[in-house]
Amino acid sequence: MLQVGVFGAGGRMGATVCQAVAADPDLKLVAAVDPNRVGAAAGGAVAVADRQAMADARADVVVDFTIAEAARDNVIWLAENRIHAVVGTTGFTDEDLVQFDAAFTSAERACIIAPNFAISAVLMMRFAELAAPYFDTAEVIELHHDAKIDAPSGTARLTVERMAAASDTWAPDPTEHEMLAGVRGAIGPAGIRVHAVRMRGLVAHHEVILGAEGQTLTIRQDSTNRSSFMPGVLAAVKAASGRTGLIVGLDALLDI
Protein backbone atom coordinates (compact mmCIF):
# COMPACT_ATOMS: atom_id res chain seq x y z
CA MET A 1 0.00 0.00 0.00
CA LEU A 2 1.40 3.38 -1.01
CA GLN A 3 1.88 5.95 1.76
CA VAL A 4 0.68 9.37 0.57
CA GLY A 5 1.08 12.90 1.90
CA VAL A 6 -0.62 16.10 0.75
CA PHE A 7 0.71 19.68 0.72
CA GLY A 8 -2.02 22.33 0.85
CA ALA A 9 -4.28 19.86 2.63
CA GLY A 10 -6.52 22.54 4.13
CA GLY A 11 -7.41 24.16 0.81
CA ARG A 12 -10.32 23.13 -1.38
CA MET A 13 -8.25 21.10 -3.82
CA GLY A 14 -5.95 19.70 -1.13
CA ALA A 15 -8.86 18.60 1.03
CA THR A 16 -10.49 16.90 -1.96
CA VAL A 17 -7.22 15.06 -2.67
CA CYS A 18 -7.02 13.92 0.96
CA GLN A 19 -10.55 12.54 0.79
CA ALA A 20 -9.85 10.75 -2.50
CA VAL A 21 -6.64 9.19 -1.17
CA ALA A 22 -8.34 8.09 2.04
CA ALA A 23 -11.14 6.43 0.05
CA ASP A 24 -8.79 4.46 -2.21
CA PRO A 25 -8.08 0.94 -0.88
CA ASP A 26 -4.61 0.92 -2.46
CA LEU A 27 -3.49 4.16 -0.80
CA LYS A 28 -3.00 5.38 2.76
CA LEU A 29 -3.06 9.05 3.76
CA VAL A 30 -0.18 9.42 6.23
CA ALA A 31 0.45 13.17 6.37
CA ALA A 32 -1.41 16.41 5.67
CA VAL A 33 0.53 19.68 5.68
CA ASP A 34 -0.80 23.22 5.43
CA PRO A 35 0.88 25.94 7.50
CA ASN A 36 -1.99 28.33 6.72
CA ARG A 37 -4.71 25.99 7.98
CA VAL A 38 -3.20 24.05 10.87
CA GLY A 39 -5.79 21.81 12.52
CA ALA A 40 -8.04 21.56 9.46
CA ALA A 41 -9.58 18.12 9.03
CA ALA A 42 -8.61 16.48 5.75
CA GLY A 43 -9.61 12.95 4.80
CA GLY A 44 -9.36 11.69 8.36
CA ALA A 45 -6.04 13.47 8.95
CA VAL A 46 -5.37 16.81 10.62
CA ALA A 47 -3.26 19.42 8.84
CA VAL A 48 0.05 20.34 10.48
CA ALA A 49 2.52 23.11 9.68
CA ASP A 50 5.85 21.29 9.37
CA ARG A 51 6.57 19.38 6.16
CA GLN A 52 8.94 17.16 8.10
CA ALA A 53 5.75 15.24 8.89
CA MET A 54 5.98 13.83 5.35
CA ALA A 55 9.40 12.31 5.96
CA ASP A 56 8.54 11.20 9.51
CA ALA A 57 5.49 9.33 8.17
CA ARG A 58 7.65 7.72 5.46
CA ALA A 59 5.46 8.97 2.64
CA ASP A 60 6.17 7.30 -0.70
CA VAL A 61 4.41 9.99 -2.75
CA VAL A 62 3.37 13.54 -1.89
CA VAL A 63 0.75 15.55 -3.78
CA ASP A 64 1.21 19.35 -3.94
CA PHE A 65 -1.70 21.69 -4.62
CA THR A 66 -0.34 24.95 -3.22
CA ILE A 67 1.03 28.01 -5.08
CA ALA A 68 4.15 28.25 -7.21
CA GLU A 69 6.24 30.09 -4.61
CA ALA A 70 5.67 27.38 -1.99
CA ALA A 71 5.71 24.46 -4.42
CA ARG A 72 9.17 25.33 -5.82
CA ASP A 73 10.67 24.79 -2.38
CA ASN A 74 8.45 21.83 -1.54
CA VAL A 75 9.36 19.95 -4.71
CA ILE A 76 13.12 20.29 -4.18
CA TRP A 77 12.69 19.24 -0.55
CA LEU A 78 10.83 16.12 -1.67
CA ALA A 79 13.67 15.22 -4.06
CA GLU A 80 16.20 15.72 -1.28
CA ASN A 81 14.16 13.36 0.89
CA ARG A 82 13.74 10.83 -1.95
CA ILE A 83 9.94 11.15 -2.06
CA HIS A 84 7.99 11.04 -5.32
CA ALA A 85 6.05 14.23 -6.17
CA VAL A 86 2.71 14.71 -7.93
CA VAL A 87 2.17 18.41 -8.56
CA GLY A 88 -0.99 20.22 -9.64
CA THR A 89 0.42 23.67 -8.92
CA THR A 90 1.07 25.84 -11.99
CA GLY A 91 3.25 28.89 -12.68
CA PHE A 92 6.65 27.20 -12.90
CA THR A 93 9.34 28.57 -15.21
CA ASP A 94 11.40 26.58 -17.69
CA GLU A 95 14.33 26.97 -15.29
CA ASP A 96 12.24 25.45 -12.49
CA LEU A 97 11.48 22.42 -14.64
CA VAL A 98 15.15 21.89 -15.51
CA GLN A 99 16.01 22.05 -11.80
CA PHE A 100 13.23 19.61 -10.88
CA ASP A 101 14.31 17.13 -13.54
CA ALA A 102 17.91 17.17 -12.35
CA ALA A 103 16.95 16.83 -8.68
CA PHE A 104 14.54 13.91 -9.16
CA THR A 105 16.74 12.10 -11.66
CA SER A 106 19.57 12.29 -9.13
CA ALA A 107 17.26 11.07 -6.36
CA GLU A 108 15.90 8.26 -8.57
CA ARG A 109 12.40 9.48 -7.91
CA ALA A 110 9.66 10.91 -10.13
CA CYS A 111 8.14 14.38 -10.25
CA ILE A 112 4.86 14.37 -12.19
CA ILE A 113 3.57 17.87 -12.98
CA ALA A 114 0.23 18.26 -14.72
CA PRO A 115 -1.46 21.59 -15.42
CA ASN A 116 -4.76 19.73 -15.35
CA PHE A 117 -5.61 16.30 -13.92
CA ALA A 118 -9.05 16.04 -15.53
CA ILE A 119 -9.11 13.32 -18.19
CA SER A 120 -11.42 15.51 -20.28
CA ALA A 121 -8.82 18.31 -20.25
CA VAL A 122 -6.08 15.92 -21.36
CA LEU A 123 -8.28 14.80 -24.26
CA MET A 124 -9.17 18.42 -25.11
CA MET A 125 -5.46 19.26 -25.47
CA ARG A 126 -4.85 16.21 -27.62
CA PHE A 127 -7.85 16.90 -29.85
CA ALA A 128 -6.72 20.54 -30.34
CA GLU A 129 -3.23 19.34 -31.26
CA LEU A 130 -4.65 16.88 -33.82
CA ALA A 131 -6.96 19.51 -35.34
CA ALA A 132 -4.36 22.29 -35.58
CA PRO A 133 -2.82 21.38 -38.97
CA TYR A 134 -6.23 21.50 -40.65
CA PHE A 135 -7.11 25.11 -39.70
CA ASP A 136 -5.73 28.58 -40.45
CA THR A 137 -6.76 30.47 -37.32
CA ALA A 138 -7.31 29.61 -33.66
CA GLU A 139 -7.95 31.22 -30.30
CA VAL A 140 -8.04 29.74 -26.81
CA ILE A 141 -10.29 30.88 -23.97
CA GLU A 142 -9.85 29.68 -20.40
CA LEU A 143 -12.42 30.40 -17.68
CA HIS A 144 -11.80 29.88 -13.96
CA HIS A 145 -13.14 30.74 -10.52
CA ASP A 146 -12.33 34.14 -9.09
CA ALA A 147 -9.83 32.78 -6.55
CA LYS A 148 -7.31 31.72 -9.22
CA ILE A 149 -4.41 34.17 -9.05
CA ASP A 150 -2.40 33.24 -12.17
CA ALA A 151 -3.42 33.77 -15.78
CA PRO A 152 -3.56 32.25 -18.25
CA SER A 153 -3.99 28.77 -16.85
CA GLY A 154 -1.26 26.19 -17.27
CA THR A 155 -3.69 24.12 -19.33
CA ALA A 156 -4.29 26.98 -21.78
CA ARG A 157 -0.57 27.64 -22.12
CA LEU A 158 0.22 23.97 -22.77
CA THR A 159 -2.67 23.69 -25.24
CA VAL A 160 -1.35 26.62 -27.28
CA GLU A 161 2.22 25.29 -27.17
CA ARG A 162 1.08 21.93 -28.51
CA MET A 163 -1.06 23.51 -31.23
CA ALA A 164 1.84 25.74 -32.29
CA ALA A 165 4.15 22.73 -32.43
CA ALA A 166 1.63 20.87 -34.59
CA SER A 167 1.32 23.68 -37.16
CA ASP A 168 3.31 26.83 -37.99
CA THR A 169 1.07 28.11 -40.78
CA TRP A 170 -1.41 30.24 -38.82
CA ALA A 171 -2.86 33.30 -40.56
CA PRO A 172 -1.78 36.69 -39.15
CA ASP A 173 -4.10 38.66 -36.86
CA PRO A 174 -5.83 41.35 -38.97
CA THR A 175 -6.36 43.71 -36.00
CA GLU A 176 -4.73 47.10 -36.59
CA HIS A 177 -6.19 49.12 -33.73
CA GLU A 178 -7.52 48.07 -30.31
CA MET A 179 -10.24 50.43 -29.08
CA LEU A 180 -9.57 48.99 -25.61
CA ALA A 181 -5.97 47.98 -24.85
CA GLY A 182 -5.57 44.23 -24.54
CA VAL A 183 -9.00 43.42 -25.95
CA ARG A 184 -7.50 40.87 -28.34
CA GLY A 185 -5.95 38.90 -25.49
CA ALA A 186 -2.38 37.71 -25.02
CA ILE A 187 -0.22 36.52 -27.90
CA GLY A 188 0.89 32.93 -27.40
CA PRO A 189 3.23 30.74 -29.44
CA ALA A 190 2.75 30.99 -33.23
CA GLY A 191 0.63 34.10 -32.64
CA ILE A 192 -2.34 32.14 -31.23
CA ARG A 193 -4.39 34.42 -29.00
CA VAL A 194 -5.23 33.41 -25.42
CA HIS A 195 -8.01 34.94 -23.31
CA ALA A 196 -8.54 34.48 -19.55
CA VAL A 197 -11.85 34.89 -17.70
CA ARG A 198 -12.11 35.02 -13.88
CA MET A 199 -15.65 34.71 -12.57
CA ARG A 200 -17.41 33.63 -9.41
CA GLY A 201 -19.36 30.41 -9.87
CA LEU A 202 -16.93 28.79 -12.30
CA VAL A 203 -14.47 25.97 -11.55
CA ALA A 204 -12.25 25.27 -14.60
CA HIS A 205 -13.20 25.50 -18.26
CA HIS A 206 -11.25 25.60 -21.54
CA GLU A 207 -12.41 26.34 -25.06
CA VAL A 208 -10.43 26.10 -28.30
CA ILE A 209 -11.96 27.69 -31.40
CA LEU A 210 -10.39 26.84 -34.75
CA GLY A 211 -11.40 28.35 -38.08
CA ALA A 212 -10.82 27.80 -41.78
CA GLU A 213 -12.66 29.04 -44.86
CA GLY A 214 -16.36 28.29 -44.41
CA GLN A 215 -16.04 26.27 -41.20
CA THR A 216 -15.18 26.37 -37.52
CA LEU A 217 -14.49 23.74 -34.88
CA THR A 218 -15.01 24.33 -31.16
CA ILE A 219 -13.48 22.00 -28.58
CA ARG A 220 -14.64 22.68 -25.03
CA GLN A 221 -13.86 21.04 -21.71
CA ASP A 222 -15.66 21.78 -18.43
CA SER A 223 -14.81 20.76 -14.89
CA THR A 224 -17.86 21.61 -12.83
CA ASN A 225 -16.61 19.97 -9.64
CA ARG A 226 -13.13 19.41 -8.18
CA SER A 227 -13.89 15.71 -8.00
CA SER A 228 -13.24 15.67 -11.78
CA PHE A 229 -9.51 15.95 -11.09
CA MET A 230 -9.28 13.05 -8.65
CA PRO A 231 -9.07 10.06 -11.06
CA GLY A 232 -6.09 11.72 -12.72
CA VAL A 233 -4.42 12.60 -9.42
CA LEU A 234 -4.79 9.04 -8.12
CA ALA A 235 -3.50 7.61 -11.42
CA ALA A 236 -0.41 9.83 -11.15
CA VAL A 237 0.17 8.84 -7.52
CA LYS A 238 0.08 5.17 -8.42
CA ALA A 239 2.28 5.63 -11.51
CA ALA A 240 5.00 7.70 -9.82
CA SER A 241 6.79 4.84 -8.07
CA GLY A 242 7.70 3.19 -11.36
CA ARG A 243 9.30 6.29 -12.89
CA THR A 244 12.29 8.62 -12.51
CA GLY A 245 12.85 12.30 -13.33
CA LEU A 246 10.41 14.96 -14.50
CA ILE A 247 7.19 14.05 -16.31
CA VAL A 248 5.00 16.91 -17.56
CA GLY A 249 1.39 16.23 -18.48
CA LEU A 250 -0.98 13.45 -17.53
CA ASP A 251 -1.11 12.19 -21.11
CA ALA A 252 2.38 10.74 -20.68
CA LEU A 253 0.89 8.32 -18.13
CA LEU A 254 -2.32 7.55 -19.99
CA ASP A 255 -0.79 6.89 -23.43
CA ILE A 256 -3.09 9.44 -25.05
Task: List, by residue number, the catalytic residues.
Answer: 144, 148
- Bridge partners of 168, per DSSP, are none
| Sequence-separated (6 or more) residues with CB below 8 Å from residue 96 | 72
Q: Helices H, strands E: what count in the chain?
A: 8, 13
Distance CA 16, CA 41 (A): 11
Sign of CA dihedral 118, 123, 129, 134: negative
Q: Quick check: 110 and 237 in contact, CB under 8 A?
A: no
Reference 190, options 161, 218, 151, 212; nearest CA is: 161
Distance CA 55, CA 240 (A): 17
E strand or H helix that includes residue 113: strand 110-113
